[in-house]
């Protein structure tokens, strides 16, 4: 991965010596033996020996692939976004799938769940329910419905088709798993949901799809190793965090993660949760948004070019694309495309990237460019760890705790009161 800040640095006052001192202090803090947070367990995952765990994940995945046509991952937030981002990044569009990975519990749409059940009627399926507590409303409802469908379909053997990824010691899902005999994987206490992609939360669905989970972790290790030196001249992770912080304090309050490849569309959804939930507190934090170019250039493009000047873009670009199409010459050039004859669509897309960056910068929209090598497991691991580490640095630069989410609990309390849940009777009377 490579970061280019050429089209952003002129928009900020960058006192590198001052920022380097702050970065050094935060780097030492998060890497010290006594961590500043109980939720930094993700930090050393790439260099932690996990041979036994990875072997068990691969065996479970193989069993699922043999007895199921569909794996339904039940979870919300970090319990599903990372695996969906990875699978959509690595899958070839329109390719025949040996096994499908579908999702439930990430919304409260009865229509969605009803149609999922209809879709599963003539298919063998398994369920991977992911929740530390087992009581989060959306996945708990979905799992109850899917569990009952499994019981109807497979009887007392249904438990063989349920894999629970949950707390290692407590919680209703942990208790249910012990009672029913579900295979269990542990979400470490020290890893929050949005930082859990490189745990069994993400690794099991990736393995079920047949992707190389060792290569994913190797990619993460690559970024981990390169980021041990906090020098901003050598550490693109920290430089990205510093630049987004400086753009924020300069008045650019919105960051858009922009891609030019459909395989990156859901990666942006994971990225938005990671940064939005980590930084948006205490009246601080960038509002994070995303755009899929060149599609959104025909909708949001006008606003980005000439709207309020309160945003900047981070462009995520894939350098090597193996599948491509060459534009052919036609005798009747009614569409005026013969000037592109012999060129690939990848080439045209690259010029769209370059031209758009220049136009938006001319329109006073700073741009950062992050280039990744290709669409591969190694690259995906790099991207995940790059942004996880950058998020921790960025939040600490804002002086906020990256690992809590107190605001998320407020809507839940109101919802429980309105639903008549015991213990919440007086919430709305305050």
* Contact status, residue 47 vs residue 102, Cβ threshold 8 Å: no
Question: Which among 144, 316, 314 has a CA at the least distance from the CA of 245?
Answer: 314
Residues written for the chain: 430
Closest alpha carbon to 73 in 165, 152, 155:
165
- Pairwise CA distance, residues 266 & 262, whole Å: 8
Helix crossing, 81-90 with 200-208: angle to 10°?
30
The C-alpha atoms of residue 327 and residue 344 are separated, in whole angstroms, by 6
Active-site residue (options: 373, 412, 413, 421): 412
Is 255 an active-site residue? no
252 is catalytic: no
CA distance 298 to 222: 37
| Both tokens assigned to 58 | 């691969």
Distance between CA atoms of residues 198 and 165, nearest Å: 13
- Check if the beta carbon of residue 289 is closer than 8 Å to that of residue 295: no
d(CA 292, CA 294): 6
- Of the residues 138, 149, 255, 277, only one is catalytic, namely 277
- For the record, the structure tokens of 258 come out as 């922009």
The residues carrying an active-site annotation are: 277, 412
């Amino acid at each position: 991965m490579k970061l280019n800040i050429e089209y952003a640095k002129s928009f900020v006052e960058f006192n590198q010596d001052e920022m380097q001192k702050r970065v050094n202090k935060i780097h030492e803090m998060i890497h010290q033996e006594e961590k500043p947070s109980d939720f930094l367990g993700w930090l050393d995952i790439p260099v932690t020996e996990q041979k036994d765990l990875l072997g068990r994940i691969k065996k479970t995945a193989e069993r699922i692939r043999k007895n199921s046509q569909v794996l339904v991952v039940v979870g919300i937030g970090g319990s599903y976004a990372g695996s969906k981002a990875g699978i959509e990044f690595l899958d070839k569009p329109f390719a025949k799938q040996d096994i499908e990975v579908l999702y439930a519990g990430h919304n409260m749409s009865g229509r969605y769940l009803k149609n999922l059940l209809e879709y599963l009627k003539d298919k063998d399926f398994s369920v991977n329910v992911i929740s530390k507590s087992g009581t989060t409303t959306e996945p708990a409802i979905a799992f109850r419905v899917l569990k009952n469908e499994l019981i109807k379909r497979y009887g007392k053997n249904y438990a063989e088709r349920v894999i629970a990824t949950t707390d290692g010691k407590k919680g209703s899902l942990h208790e249910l798993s012990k009672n029913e005999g579900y295979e269990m994987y542990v979400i470490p206490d020290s890893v929050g949901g949005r930082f859990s992609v490189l745990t069994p939360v993400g690794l099991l669905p990736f393995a079920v799809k047949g992707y190389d989970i060792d290569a994913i972790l190797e990619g993460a290790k690559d970024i981990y190793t390169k980021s041990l030196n906090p020098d901003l001249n050598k550490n693109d992770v920290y430089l990205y965090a510093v630049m987004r912080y400086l753009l924020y304090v300069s008045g650019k309050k919105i960051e858009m993660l922009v891609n030019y490849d459909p395989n990156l569309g859901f990666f942006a959804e994971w990225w938005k949760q990671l940064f939005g939930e980590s930084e948006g507190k205490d009246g601080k934090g960038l509002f994070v948004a995303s755009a899929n170019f060149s599609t959104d250039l025909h909708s949001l493009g006008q606003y980005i070019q000439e709207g309020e000047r309160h945003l900047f873009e981070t462009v995520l670009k894939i350098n090597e694309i193996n599948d491509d199409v060459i534009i052919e010459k036609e005798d009747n050039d009614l569409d005026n495309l013969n000037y592109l004859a012999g060129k690939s669509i990848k080439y045209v897309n690259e010029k769209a990237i370059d031209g758009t960056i220049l136009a938006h910068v001319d329109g006073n929209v700073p741009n950062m460019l992050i280039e990744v090598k290709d669409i591969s497991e190694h690259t995906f691991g790099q991207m995940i760890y790059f942004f996880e580490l950058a998020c921790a640095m960025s939040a600490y630069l804002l002086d906020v705790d990256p690992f809590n989410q107190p605001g998320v609990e407020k809507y839940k309390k109101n919802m429980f009161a309105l639903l008549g849940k015991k213990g919440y009777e007086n919430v709305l009377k305050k």
